[in-house]
Amino acid sequence: MLSLSAVTDSPTKRPHRDEATNVLGVRIHDPLERSVEPSWLEQREGPGAPARFVLQQPESIVGRSIEAHFTIESSLISRRHAVFAQSGPEVTCRDLDSSNGVYLNGVKVHSALLHEGDTLQIGDVVLLFHEGR
Amino acid sequence: MALFVRFWGTRGSIPTPGFKTKRYGGNTSCVEVRTNESVFICDGGTGLRELGQDLIRRAKPPPMHLFFSHMHWDHIQGFPFFVPAYADHNVLSVYEIAPGQTRIRELLTGQMRSEYFPVSFCDLGAKIQSGYLEHQGKLIDGVKVRCISQHHPGTSYAYSFEQDGKKVVYSTDNELDLWLDPKLSLTSPESLRILPSEFVDFVRDADLLIADGQYTEEEYPTRIGWGHARTNTVVDLAVQAGVKQCAIFHHDPMQTDDDVDRKLERAEERARRHGSNLVIFGAREGMELKV
């Protein structure tokens, strides 16, 4: 069972810098304005797959607990299994002392900086990491 | 108690920033081996700068112990940018190989002469003390540290760190292939490459071996004597020594991430052909293992 509350398919947009003072609502073209698509995880295997988890929080926890940002009901997943932390454009995955560990591209890691196409295995769940743009 | 191992710089010879080296990283050699009490730093390549930034963000700077495989540029270049060395309250131990030696301290001082760098070594605020390793190894903050000499122009050293039955070996800039019969290893590339028992014993049963596997089979013949090993020879060392996990390190600056991937695929195939279930992977910046 997946908690999809944090899942969205639409990229977030920065508020227009003149929004507060543009009382007439005229659309002003800002050459610096651009869409920001956050990094996301594509669940390929495990309970609830396929699914998509968008990393919008500074820290997003994956686990069996309903308090996790991404809840996955699997006996092989710890209540708080791993955290995905964002720092600027970088996303790091860290094992939260889980029972079954976090595997990055087949290697058991304590933590790792993630890159496009990395595969993470958490219990019986397989996630593919996609970098934001 | 676990040993935590983090890669801060994995590239050989020269920094290689850029899109094509993003995954494995472009910083030169620097590996952190951490316990709950202390930080053991292997080499001071450009990765040391980022380790320094991270150390000052931690709650309380731990005792820091710095070991150099050797003093070629790509292993010392980060030292002048190691911020903890500038802070008065920090203590940094820099280890020589034998008692009475001052070579490492002199070379670190030399690269901070005013011709090369604006701050001199003697202006660093931290207490920088010289240590040395004894013949049978030395117990440092509860970790047994040993070293052994290797094949590299001017000599290099491998280090092992052991605590509570866990063992990590750091062995970079080591041309393992020079220990082999050159005719046999180049004409029968598929055969298991038998390495000297002294070195195999040094590595034996490591939970993690971090080893220079810079060259592919095709690259090596034109680089003999440059001081670096073929990835396949590292695989054979790990298999002979009963290593559990092997991180291929010191990636060639000409190799893109995709090149490193291909090198690793072949290394894994070789381990399987030897009947080994060795876990083999490419060391990459930002990766931390709990051993």
Residue B189: per-residue pLDDT: 82
Query: Between B41 and A27, whose confidence is greater?
Result: B41
Task: Grade residue B52 by pLDDT with cuts at 50, 70 and 90.
Answer: very high
Task: Grade residue A11 by pLDDT with cuts at 50, 70 and 90.
Answer: very low
Residue B60 has pLDDT above 90, yes or no: no
Phi, psi of B120 (to 5 degrees): -90, 160
Residue A13 has pLDDT above 80, yes or no: no
Residue B131: per-residue pLDDT: 94
Quick one: how many helices (H) and strands (E) in chain A? 0, 13
Q: Which of B54, B256, B287, B291 to mutate to test binding with chain A, by most A CBs within 10 Å of its CB?
A: B287
Residue A4: per-residue pLDDT: 38
Task: Grade residue A22 by pLDDT with cuts at 50, 70 and 90.
Answer: low
Task: Grade residue A20 by pLDDT with cuts at 50, 70 and 90.
Answer: low
Contact between B32 and B72 under an 8 Å Cβ cutoff? The reply is: no
Q: Which of B281, B284, B289 sits opposite A110 (nearest CB)?
A: B289
Residue A23 has pLDDT above 70, yes or no: no
pLDDT digits (tens, 9 = 90+) for B115-128: 999 999 999 999 99
pLDDT digits (tens, 9 = 90+) for B229-284: 999 999 999 999 999 999 999 999 999 999 999 999 999 999 999 999 999 999 99
Give B-chain residues touching A87 at CB under 8 angstroms. none
Q: Per mean pLDDT, which of A6-20, A27-41, B77-91 is the most reliable?
A: B77-91
Q: Encode A66-87: b = buried (16+ Cβ within 10 Å), e = exposed.
A: eebbbbbebebbbebbbbbbbe
Residue whose pair of structure tokens reads 């051993």 in the numeric block: B291
Residue A8: per-residue pLDDT: 38
B245–A109 C-beta distance less than 8 A: no
Q: Which of A95, A106, A112 sits opposite B287 (nearest CB)?
A: A112
Give B-chain residues touching A106 at CB under 8 angstroms. 279, 281
Q: Which of A92, A109, A131 to mutate to test binding with chain B, by most B CBs within 10 Å of its CB?
A: A109
Which residues 43-62 on chain A approach chain B with CB closer than 8 angstroms? none
pLDDT digits (tens, 9 = 90+) for B249-264: 999 999 999 999 999 9
Query: Between B99 and A43, whose confidence is greater?
Result: A43
Residue A7: per-residue pLDDT: 39
Rounded-to-integer distance, Cα B133 and Cα B155, Å: 16
Is the minimum CB–CB distance between A110 and chain B shorter than 8 Å? yes
Query: Between A8 and B79, whose confidence is greater?
Result: B79
A108–B289 C-beta distance less than 8 A: yes
pLDDT digits (tens, 9 = 90+) for B1-42: 899 999 999 999 999 999 999 999 999 999 999 999 999 999
Structure tokens at B139: 């117990």
Give B-chain residues touching A109 at CB under 8 angstroms. 287-289
Nearest chain B alpha carbon to A103:
B289
B286–A112 C-beta distance less than 8 A: yes
Nearest chain A alpha carbon to B279:
A107
Residue B81 buriedness (CB in 10 A; 0-12 / 13-18 / 19+): middle
pLDDT digits (tens, 9 = 90+) for B144-182: 999 999 999 999 999 999 999 999 999 999 999 999 987
Task: Grade residue A35 by pLDDT with cuts at 50, 70 and 90.
Answer: low
Residue A2: per-residue pLDDT: 41
CA-nearest of B118, B57, B130, B60 to B92 is B130
One-character DSSP codes across B84-145: GGG-TT-EEEEEESSTT--HHHHHHHHTTSTTT-SS-GGG--SEEEEEE--TT-EEETTEEE
Mean pLDDT of B53-69: 92
Chain B residues with CB within 8 Å of chain A CB: 4, 22-23, 245, 279, 281, 284-290
Q: Which residues touch A51 (CB under 8 Å, ≥6 apart)? A: A2, A4, A7, A42, A43
Q: Which of A99, A111, A114, A120 to mutate to test binding with chain B, by most B CBs within 10 Å of its CB?
A: A111
Q: Which residues pair with A102 in a beta bridge?
A: A109, A122
Q: Which of B22, B279, B290 sits opposite A115 (nearest CB)?
A: B22
Amino acid at B163: Q
Give B-chain residues touching A95 at CB under 8 angstroms. 290
Q: Which residues pair with B150 in a beta bridge?
A: B156
Q: Which residues pair with B163 in a beta bridge?
A: B166
DSSP letter at B241 equals H
Give B-chain residues touching A90 at CB under 8 angstroms. 286
- For chain B, the average pLDDT equals 95
Residue A25: per-residue pLDDT: 59
Query: Between B135 and A5, whose confidence is greater?
Result: B135
Provide the whole-model pTM.
0.91
Q: Which of A92, A108, A115 sits opposite B23 (nearest CB)?
A: A115
Residue A16 has pLDDT above 70, yes or no: no
Residue A3 has pLDDT above 50, yes or no: no
B287–A113 C-beta distance less than 8 A: yes
Which residues 63-102 on chain A approach chain B with CB closer than 8 angstroms? 90, 92, 95
Is the minimum CB–CB distance between A112 and chain B shorter than 8 Å? yes
Rounded-to-integer distance, Cα B241 and Cα B252, Å: 25
